[in-house]
Amino acid sequence: MKRKLFLCIAIIMVLACGCSEDKNIYVDPNKAKDNLTPVELNITSNDFSMDEKPFNIMMLNSTIGSDYLYVVSSLGNYHVDLQSGVVKGFCNITGCAHDPNSSVGCLNYFSFSSIIAADDGFYYIDSNTVRFHSDKDDIIVYENTYSTDFEEEYYPDNPNVLGALASDDDILYIIGPTYYLTYDTESKKFSDTQIISDVTIHSLCVEGDNIYYTNENDELYAFDTTKKESKKLSDKVNQVCINNGNLYYIQYENGTPFLFSMDLSSHKSTKLIENCYVNYCINGSNIYYQNRSEPYKIFVCGIDGSDPREITVDFVEYDENGDPIPYNTQRYFIFATSSNIDHVFIIDDERGVVFALKSGDTEYKTINANGVIYN
């Protein structure tokens, strides 16, 4: 049975994010300027070019540039200054009240999809266009007019709809339901459009001359960009990414998700983590993940799955009477990192809290999207 990409992503995100009692809390970072208490995050990115980022449902909502972590969220869009830790909303429109219900065009509540950082801003998808957003500007980079019979049939309302962006060094991969093209962010040149799949692509990453992707049937393929042919590698797979020349992915066995790595020359795979939820993330020699059998517990382990250590995040807010509101961690978190930095961010998309950890550590600094830094 065919499924629609956006619908599917929305459902998976809802499943991933779980339920919340806090749905009516709106975070407006711009209103909290007086509360800003900068602490030194002092996170520096090494020779930032463009983030190396796969298309992976858990990585669509955050990206890390040379100066900022950007988060697009149902609570409001904000960025965190990597030096000072100061949090601010995207919106800098003069006179905007930043009200989620009444401020038409407020950038804090605009739906930016599949964001990827670049110098001074980020790329994102808006329906059938790729756009670049910065403090000064918001411009169309690419407007898609391409479709195949597949898109005409399964996306009849908008057959030119784009699915996501992925990046590999300076190359942006623009991904439609069954095809992709590239945009060289340096030379500003586009490639021809290339069909790689019969059905909708669900995750994608790039290593050398190969594109690895999964589709709506959870099949894993490698597409050789020189021979222009796809080869099936495995089944029941999703959430691919590349780290240090190895392919990582989630594969289900009897309903249980495992994290695997695959050596790309021998195609030999190794089972690393049992009950690893889809939102794993790799930074250097560490893997961060939530365990599905012990719901919501967060762990960091070695790159081979060894030595798992629990990360216990906590955050207390106070209500208007000054009474503490205990932190409910019964939810799935978003993990964000970049090859350019030695930090990982654990983002609570429902409460507007970000935890910043140095790679390998279980200690963290807490950043609240209201603009208050707690330690």
Nearer to Zn ion, 74 or 339 (CB): 74
Query: End-to-end alpha-carbon separation of the chain, Å?
Result: 49
The residue among 108 and 230 lying less far from Zn ion, judged by its C-beta, is 108
Measure Cα distances from 135 to 22, 86, 87, 92, 103 in Å. Answer: 30, 16, 15, 8, 18
What's the closest the beta carbon of residue 106 comes to Zn ion, in angstroms? 3
Sign of the alpha-carbon dihedral angle for 346, 341, 240, 154: positive
- Specify the length of the chain in residues: 375
Of 96 and 195, nearer to Zn ion (C-beta) is: 96
Distance, CA of 305 to chain centre: 22
Dump strand ranges (E) for 235-340: 237-243, 246-253, 256-263, 269-274, 281-283, 286-291, 297-302, 309-311, 317-318, 324-325, 334-336
Shortest CA distance to 358 belongs to which of 314, 311, 316, 315?
A: 311
Separation of alpha carbons 116 and 139, rounded Å:
15
> Which residues partner with 356 through β-bridges?
345, 365
Q: Which residues of 175-196 are buried (b: 16+ CB within 10 A; e: fewer)?
A: bbbbbbbbbebeeeeeeebeeb
For residues 32 and 367, is the Cβ–Cβ distance under 8 A?
A: no
Nearest-angstrom CA–CA distance, 373 and 375: 6
Residues 68 and 66: their CA atoms lie apart, in Å, by 6
Residue number, 88 or 98, with CB nearest to Zn ion: 98
Q: Provide, rounded to whole angstroms, the least separation between the CB of residue 110 and Zn ion.
A: 9
C-beta of 98 vs 131, nearer to Zn ion: 98
Least spacing, CB of residue 122 vs Zn ion, in Å: 18
Min separation Cβ 347 and Zn ion, Å: 21
Give the single-character DSSP code of 25: P
Q: How far is the CB of 17 from Zn ion (least distance, A)?
A: 24
Which C-beta is closer to Zn ion: that of 70 or that of 280?
Answer: 70
Q: Which residues bind Zn ion (CB under 5 A)?
A: 91, 96, 98, 106
CB of 89 to Zn ion, least distance (A): 7
Closest CB to Zn ion among residues 98, 236: 98
CB atoms within 10 A of CB 174: 26
Joined tokens for residue 342: 């030695």
Q: How far is the CB of 121 from Zn ion (least distance, A)?
A: 17
Nearer to Zn ion, 109 or 150 (CB): 109
In whole angstroms, the minimum distance from the beta carbon of 323 to Zn ion comes to: 31
Residue 105 CB, nearest distance to Zn ion (Å)?
8
Residue type, 311: I
CB of 94 to Zn ion, least distance (A): 10
Q: Which two tokens stand for residue 35?
A: 């509360």
Tell which residue, 162, 205, 231, 263, has the closest CA to residue 52.
205
